[in-house]
Amino acid sequence: MGEAAVKRSLVLVLGAALVAAACTYQAPTYRDLDRIAQQQQREAILNRPPPDTCQLAAHRHLLGADGGAIQQSSLPAGARIICHGCAVTLDYRAERLNLELGPDGKVANLRCG
């Protein structure tokens, strides 16, 4: 066999392999599509940001502020300023804004609850 014949044979074999590979594709079934949709829905639920039930975003500017200088009247109703190391009740109220002070008396954290 000549070199041209070997190349031609190789091209034919590779072409046949590509055709065979293309014929083996299976379109997804409705069950597969449903599984994919459910997975995407779960991921969307897990990745969505929590609702801002206590106006936390509107008060982010208070981070680092001196706790003694914060006017209680400028906070939402029911908000509480929690001093460092102070005891608080463990009841959870989603609409309540908590301002947690650090050891230096400045607002170290904001959270709903």
The pLDDT tens digits for 77-91 are 999 999 999 999 989
Number of Cβ within 10 Å of residue 54's Cβ equals: 22
Dump pLDDT digits (tens) for 46-59: 888 778 899 999 99
Residue 78: the pLDDT is 93
Q: Which residues of the chain have pLDDT under 50?
A: none
Confidence (pLDDT) at 50:
78
Determine if the pTM surpasses 0.75: no
Q: In this predicted structure, what is the pLDDT of residue 82?
A: 95
Question: Where in the chain are the domains?
Answer: 3-47, 57-112
CATH assignment of 57-112, among 3.40.50.300, 3.40.50.1820, 3.30.1240.10, 3.30.10.10:
3.30.10.10
pLDDT at 8 (0 to 100): 77
What integer pLDDT is reported at residue 1 of this predicted model? 59
In the prediction, which pLDDT does 26 show? Answer: 81
